[in-house]
Structure 1
Amino acid sequence: MEPQPSRSVAEALADVWSWHRTPRFLDYVADSFGVRVADLAAFDALYIYQVADGDLERGQFDHGSTFQWWEVTDAGVRECGRPGRLLGWRDAPEKVRGSFYRWPYVSFLHCGERVGFGECFGPALLNRKAGQLAAGPGGIELAGVQVVWRG
C-alpha cells in the first residue's frame, strides 16, 4: 500500500515557525537538545519531510523512504520537492546563522495515532522525539512528546 502524506502532522510540526524568533524558542531548544544557546533563531525557511519506514519509538528513520516535502515560511505551509539548498555540506558557513541553520528541517514518521520526528535546527541541534496525535482547537496537536535521542 502506498504511504499517504500527512499534511495535518506536517502543519502541527510547522507550528514552531510562528515562535522560532522568540525567547520561548531558546527554552524549547534547551529542553529539546540539552544545550542553552544565546542567539535567537532567524530561519529563512523550515523544511518538513515525511518518511514511510522506520522505528519511531527509537527515533530511527529510513530517510531513503522520504516521499513528501513541505516548506514553511511566513506565507504558510506548502508542498514542495526536495530543496536543493539542503544538498551538499549541511554545515557550510553560508547555511549557518549563529547557532542555527538558515534552512532547518524536521523529518517525521506517522504511524496511526503515534508520530516520531527528528528536529535538525543547527550543527549541534539534532534530536528525535516520539509522541501522540490529539485533536485540538486548531486541528491536530502533538501530546506526550518525549525526547528519545539527542545528537
Structure 2
Amino acid sequence: MENQSTQLLVIGGGPGGYVAAIRAAQLGVATTLVESAELGGTCLNIGCIPSKALIHAAETFEQARHQAAESPLGVRVSAPQIDIAQTVRWKDGIVRRLTGGVAALLKKAGVRVVPGWARVLDGKTVEVQAGAGAPGATMRIGCEHLLLAAGSLP
C-alpha cells in the first residue's frame, strides 16, 4: 500500500471541493483532492448544467414550432424536427468542456487530483481505493487538515 502526505486533503471534487482546493493551492497550501467520479460534482455532470442545456434545446425547439404556425407576414416555416441523439451529444460536449475546464484549473493551481473512493480512518489519515484507472490499488494519505466536501453522497 502506497503512503502519501499533504497539508490539505479535500474529499469531493464538486463545486465546494474543487473551489476550496484551488484557493488553498493559490495560497501556497500543498493540496490533494480525492474524487470518486468526474470532477464538477452532481451539478456539472448530471444535474444543473446538463438539465439547463436540455431545457435550452427544448425552448429552441418550441420557438421553432411556434414559427411554423401561420404568420401575419406570410412567412411560413416547415414544422421542426429534433434529433435527440444529436441534442444529447451537444449536451455531453458542454459537460466535457466544463469538466475539462475544472481539471485545467486544478492543474494550473498545482492541486494533486487522486481518482478514487476516500474513507476517513482518523482526522489525519484517509484511505483511498483507486478509481477505474487502477482497480484494486489502495493508498493512504496523511494530512494536516481534512476538508469533507462530499456533497449529496457521503
Q: Which has the greater radius of gyration?
A: 2
Scaled by the length of structure 2, the TM-score of the pair is 0.23
Instruction: Flag the structure with higher strand content.
Output: 1
Scaled by the length of structure 1, the TM-score of the pair is 0.24
Instruction: Flag the structure with higher helix content.
Output: 2
